[in-house]
Structure 1
Amino acid sequence: MENVIDAKEYNEFLEAIRFVYGYDFTDYAESTVKRRIFHFMTGRKIEDINTLGKILLREEAVFEEFVKELSVTVTEMFRDPLFYKSIREKVIKRLATYPFIRVWIAGCATGEEVYSIAILLKEEGLLERSIIYATDINPASLESAKQGVYALSAMKIYTSNYQLAGGKREFSEYYRAKYDSALFDASLKQNVVFSSHNLAMDKSFNEFHLILCRNVLMYFNQRLQDRVLELFYDSLCPFGFLGLGDKESLLFSNKKDQFEETDRKQKIYIKTK
């Protein structure tokens, strides 16, 4: 499928997007980007990447749809519940020692992870003195995250995840059902700041006690992974925690010696240097 897009045309396409819109996809995993470009072209019956480029540079609304296609992630509340259980058991105790807690959820997508962490902090009595920065490259995803409305049909699996993650209440207490949707309690997002942030280009904007960036680095090449991990290192306070996805690791990072494993299996690290 990648053979459909010529290498020279592909590079020129990405450079044009970076020049006009400031979005840099050049260090994203090439196979993933090409696959999603092809999917976008197929769905809109666009025959070649040059035609696609002209449309995107001319029509900003279509470009927003394109960004959504490129940055789509599969997510759910309390996804990989044992990760959240480990946060509850191995990270929360140290976070509780701070008078004020700053959490950054980088690549928050449509917000399921944001509400998961908010619920966890609430149950541990820490939400009121926490601020959660939820960032993503995709404006449409951020808007969905702000709304906090999810399919009611997903609540069964979310409830199961929550219970396996060590949830202390009835999960249904956190949302109310309306038609086919579940609207999550507004109190969960009172201390959340939703904001656009491009991991490929933007800099650190605060110092954090916990950074979660799960199942995002896997879409980047090694160079961009190194850049992002450098960004996270610079953004963490001493002995701050970093949580990655189950297919991600610090193993090949030049920052690996600055972290120690808090939970090897769940990919939770603490900054030690």
Structure 2
Amino acid sequence: MDAALRDAGLSDVIEDIEIRLLLEALNLRYHYDFRNYAQASIRRRLKQARQRLGMPTFSALQEALLHDKAMLPQLLGYLTVQVSEMFRDPSYFRAIREKVVPVLRTYPSLRIWIAGCSGGEELYSLVILFREEGLEERTIFYATDISQEALETASRGIYALDRIKGFTENHRLSGGKSSLSDYYTTGYGGAVFDKSLRDRVVFSDHSLVTDAVFAEMQLISCRNVLIYFNRELQNRAIGLFRDSLVRGGFLGLGSKENLRFSAHADGFANFVRDEKIYQRREG
């Protein structure tokens, strides 16, 4: 074997060991468990964190994490970053509006869980949709994430102005019954969404990896989160969603996610197949 190739292979092995130890340290020290996230994704994000935080090795990053609490939110920012937008995949929100909302109208009160809410784009999309459909006043929205920084961003509801054009078009395509501009004002260099949209929102840190059932929900929307989990962790999360839903409640996933290979697939029926919206079976 060529010496350069042999050295490169050894370097990869050492990096793998360092990453495993770093994730163990993160779990043991701070109780954030990323050990069963998809390895390709977690490796890519950790490499980006190591480079941008100026660490020569993952071992150096681990040492900094163990001895400096200020490093934790910085690292979580890389590990939990999600790119989202309001009314992302408008056909999903149109299906919620046209297919799911008529069923939800039959409940006297509603609990909606946005799991992995990131910066809040999906949360505000659902609150606006429920307001337009006349359901906001009977609904409590639970917005959860493992990142405190993400929750703070979501609770502020301020987005860059250059994103608003895309948000507006998505809202229109989702079947919006008003103008998105009715819900925000411009200021602070961005679009500030009306604080009344948060009147019925509960922000909470919650981990799909380690935490338990979250109340009894009529709708759980968890989009583009499971793609970062390995099969074992996906099964845990889907089981958690099943146990957190009322019978007949709904689960919405991302466009590239499904229940096909889940151990809990029999607990759900396809409700809107093309939009990855499922309904918990009665039995």
Query: TM-score if structure 2 supplies the norm length?
Result: 0.94
**1:69 matched to which residue of 2?**
78
Aligned runs of 1:110-259 on 2, under 5 Å?
A: 110-259=119-268
Could you tell me the percent identity over the aligned residues?
47
**1:35 matched to which residue of 2?**
44
Between stretches 157-166 and 51-60, larger displacement belongs to: 51-60
**1:52 matched to which residue of 2?**
61
**2:279 matched to which residue of 1?**
270
Residue identity in the other structure for 1:45:
G
**1:79 matched to which residue of 2?**
88
Aligned runs of 1:91-110 on 2, under 5 Å?
A: 91-110=100-119
**What CA deviation, in whole Å up to 9, does each residue of 1:141-170 have, x standing for no partner?**
100100111111111000000000000011
**What CA deviation, in whole Å up to 9, does each residue of 1:6-58 have, x standing for no partner?**
33222222111111100000000111111111111111221111111000111
Shift of 1:243: 0.1
Shift of 1:205: 2.6
Task: Give the Cα–Cα distance (whole angstroms) in 1 for the partners of residues 89 and 22 of structure 2.
Answer: 36
Query: TM-score if structure 1 supplies the norm length?
Result: 0.97
Task: Give the Cα–Cα distance (whole angstroms) in 2 for the partners of residues 160 and 88 of structure 1.
Answer: 16
Contact kept? 1:110, 1:142, Cα under 8 Å: yes
- Gapped runs of 5+ residues in structure 1? none
Task: Give the Cα–Cα distance (whole angstroms) in 2 for the partners of residues 139 and 251 of structure 1.
Answer: 32
**2:99 matched to which residue of 1?**
90
Task: Give the Cα–Cα distance (whole angstroms) in 1 for the partners of residues 180 and 54 of structure 2.
Answer: 43
Residue identity in the other structure for 1:29:
A
Task: Give the Cα–Cα distance (whole angstroms) in 2 for the partners of residues 123 and 89 of structure 1.
Answer: 12
Shift of 1:4: 7.4
Give secondary structure in 1 for the equivalent of 2:100.
helix
Give secondary structure in 2 for the equivalent of 1:60.
coil
Residue identity in the other structure for 1:31:
A
Task: Give the Cα–Cα distance (whole angstroms) in 2 for the partners of residues 172 and 47 of structure 1.
Answer: 46
Task: Give the Cα–Cα distance (whole angstroms) in 2 for the partners of residues 9 and 116 of structure 1.
Answer: 40
Bigger Cα Rg = 2
Task: Give the Cα–Cα distance (whole angstroms) in 2 for the partners of residues 221 and 244 of structure 1.
Answer: 16
The alignment covers a number of residue pairs equal to 273
**Shift in CA distance, 186/257, structure 1 to aligned 2, threshold 3 Å:** same
- Gapped runs of 5+ residues in structure 2? 1-7
Give secondary structure in 1 for the equivalent of 2:275.
coil
C-alpha RMSD over aligned residues? 1.3
